[in-house]
Structure 1
């Protein structure tokens, strides 16, 4: 499968604190710029009146503003305003931001471990990243961050908020959060070096596997292939009877990786296609005949923190009826951002296309609706009473078929399993078992 760019960093995933649930492809600046400028020249002349107004405003601000300003500051602010007013995911990246964007594809970067966007002028949490200060502090998708170290976020640009949340590992920051319309509360987080392992896997119990993807990095497709092989090996070399693919709180990442992951579960057909205004934004991706998953029965978990690239995977598997989607509605980000490097170590992150599922669905602002809705719930276990069974009674008859007695003696405590405290995961596992029973496997 072709990658989206020949740039050294190939395709860029935007993770910690930059953008909201990104779906990115990288692009070389010259072809993209020439395509855009050519289109602009063909369609309309330069807006001379507006350019004169811009020059006049620049001159007035420079002359009359209360503090002196240089041309560079004013022009960069103008560029930020132009990009910032397009949509929540387009942005002008200064050298530090561009560098952080490139570093994020390696899965190691500094900060809090949180994906954010903007809503009503406030910073909104899209999803915390597993095993980071944000997730350990209990930050949840949908939380609104209304203050950073006591400073209101209302009126900040997203990039300003991002810069404020960054800092040296070990440095603390106080977040003021509003959750589901409740009262504001404070959380103090300690910044850390975030090392994100994008793929995790384990056997939930014999014959049933669990595969979690936390975000889509450049090598995620390859890692999923390895994880599927490892699960079979851990299952004594036998084919699995069921697999849970966990995409909850997965904020997205690299488009190509999403295609590769979906391809591991599909043998044929369209995975995703994109449509935009410029020629190189029209892309179609189809599955190859190989099936690393061996057509194992599949349940895919999604929630409101599942965005962008994770919605591509979920949408493709749902349209092809390859698995059952379970959980709650996904985030609803169906746009593609292209990274356009500039000549001065800066870059544009520009929304250039919308993506569509194989059946032609746009996810934008709607999200993926699961086949079976299962909300988060807390599992509490009731203690078994001192109930007796027939096998406990003195002088009971033996089993007529020669089977062993099964008295009510307490079972030895087993090792804790992920499904023991995760209601949605437990329901997914139960569904897989039910499917196997009805199929007589």
Structure 2
């Protein structure tokens, strides 16, 4: 007889310290167990080991602890994203999707026995302390990470807001491990931020896909449109270091820029894990050019959005190859208040591409570089600086003075130029301007 199970959602992300493991809409069907298909011999071996530990282990061990450890072991052996969530972890997972939680503010996974940073979350202690995507955490205070499960490491990194923890990280390009002190905090994540880069050119940053991100995006774009008197000429959508989140939020964000067509579909062994999501009419920027920024910290739900917009040729994807998490997890609540997070499907872009372990390849590859402006100590000599230069016959220069205009794109005094503060965004804006010019000429 099939026993009904309360159903929770498909998620597309890993573990976020805080914790923010995301919930979407999905199902997990309980099926009748066929006793004849049970591996009775292997189960007998499991019971023998259980009995041996109970009788011979140097210290007494409770049955509950042994059984939970066995469950954790089964799930950990499957893939980096399947896991057993005790009641406390499950409760924090549910709270995390609201966008407010306690912790450091980093998305993490396991790699070679160490905790790997997928991405720091914007405006969190981890991001402000300098944690970067790709960092390998090898020590938590004085405790080595090697040998810990991901859950154990996460539990150590949690703590009372205001307390400090020292992370020892190995970073590509650094000769020695770095020690980074982070002060834990209650983290309130605003998933959508925006501003005008220049008149008519908008910028929207999505730091994480939460349940309300789709609605927040729609409100944000409406505000930008009101701010731009002549309307939005083009938009940069920044998904860099976005670790993912709610599947439905990724669908909503993709749908905001698409009028029709498939956004994403999932394929798994269970019928309920085979889902298709399609766009509905309406484009929030009415077909204006769109550039999407991604990098190695863009994972999961971010890759769904980038993949959908790329396949439909709705946007130009710029940056570095993305993280490559193309699997979907289902949360199955258990009777004891705990839950199982199980990988049940892979997701595919509209063209049928699985990006699992591959990532989204940008249309234009662009490394995250920093540039410095070189001051030569003098301005370059121009024709207007030469003695007895001919006057411009079309200019009103009857005063006899030499009017040399400053570049139109010169930054206001005291403000760092965009090319220096965020070179990728600077290039994305230049590309956007080119797309706008091209679109205007084709009208």
Determine if the TM-score, normalized by the shorter chain, exceeds 0.5: yes
Separation in 2, partners of 1:22, 1:428: 31
CA contact (8 A) 1:26 1:340 kept: no
Give the deviation of 1:145 after TM superposition.
0.2
Which aligned pairs between 1:218-297 and structure 2 lie closer than 5 A?
218-236=211-229, 238-297=230-289
- 1:155 and 2:154 are equivalent in the alignment: no
Query: Closer, same or farther in 2 for the Cα pair 1:314/1:204, shift >3 Å?
Result: same
Give the deviation of 1:374 after TM superposition.
0.3
Separation in 2, partners of 1:13, 1:292: 26
Deviations 1:392-438 (A, max 9, x none): 56776553223576426797516446554111111101111122233
Deviations 1:369-411 (A, max 9, x none): 0011000111211236234545456776553223576426797
Q: Which residue of 1 aligns with 2:205?
A: 212
- 1:53 and 2:52 are equivalent in the alignment: no
Query: Closer, same or farther in 2 for the Cα pair 1:7/1:294, shift >3 Å?
Result: farther
Give the deviation of 1:226 after TM superposition.
0.9
- 1:198 and 2:191 are equivalent in the alignment: yes
Unaligned runs of 5+ in 2: none
Query: Closer, same or farther in 2 for the Cα pair 1:167/1:27, shift >3 Å?
Result: same
- 1:407 and 2:400 are equivalent in the alignment: no
Query: Closer, same or farther in 2 for the Cα pair 1:409/1:224, shift >3 Å?
Result: closer
Total equivalences in the alignment: 428
- 1:65 and 2:62 are equivalent in the alignment: no
Unaligned runs of 5+ in 1: none
CA contact (8 A) 1:25 1:337 kept: no
Separation in 2, partners of 1:124, 1:332: 14
- 1:138 and 2:130 are equivalent in the alignment: yes
Q: Which residue of 1 aligns with 2:359?
A: 367
Deviations 1:180-239 (A, max 9, x none): 273212111111111111001110011111111001000001111111111111112x32
Q: Of residues 299, 303, 325 in structure 2, which corresponds to 1:307?
A: 299
List, as ranges, runs of 4+ consecutive aligned residues in structure 1 with deviation greater than 3 Å.
Answer: 5-15, 21-28, 386-399, 402-406, 408-412, 414-420, 438-441
CA contact (8 A) 1:12 1:101 kept: no
TM-score where L is the length of structure 1: 0.91
Query: Closer, same or farther in 2 for the Cα pair 1:232/1:409, shift >3 Å?
Result: closer
CA contact (8 A) 2:291 2:428 kept: yes
Bigger mean CA offset, 376-385 vs 194-203: 376-385
Which aligned pairs between 1:10-159 and structure 2 lie closer than 5 A?
16-17=16-17, 24-25=23-24, 27=26, 32-34=28-30, 37-38=31-32, 40-41=33-34, 45-159=37-151
Which aligned pairs between 1:385-424 and structure 2 lie closer than 5 A?
385-391=378-384, 398-402=391-395, 406-407=403-404, 413=413, 415-416=415-416, 420-424=420-424
Separation in 2, partners of 1:90, 1:141: 21
Bigger mean CA offset, 151-160 vs 181-190: 181-190
Separation in 2, partners of 1:436, 1:374: 20
Q: Which residue of 1 aligns with 2:434?
A: 434
TM-score where L is the length of structure 2: 0.90
Separation in 1, partners of 2:344, 2:108: 20
Query: Closer, same or farther in 2 for the Cα pair 1:246/1:340, shift >3 Å?
Result: same
Separation in 2, partners of 1:231, 1:64: 68
CA contact (8 A) 1:14 1:24 kept: no
Provide the aligned C-alpha RMSD in A: 2.5
Give the deviation of 1:83 after TM superposition.
1.1
CA contact (8 A) 1:13 1:105 kept: no
Query: Closer, same or farther in 2 for the Cα pair 1:12/1:99, shift >3 Å?
Result: farther
Query: Closer, same or farther in 2 for the Cα pair 1:387/1:48, shift >3 Å?
Result: closer
Give the deviation of 1:241 after TM superposition.
1.5
Give the deviation of 1:18 after TM superposition.
7.3
SS of structure 1 residue aligned to 2:16: coil
Separation in 1, partners of 2:191, 2:435: 29
Separation in 1, partners of 2:273, 2:403: 65
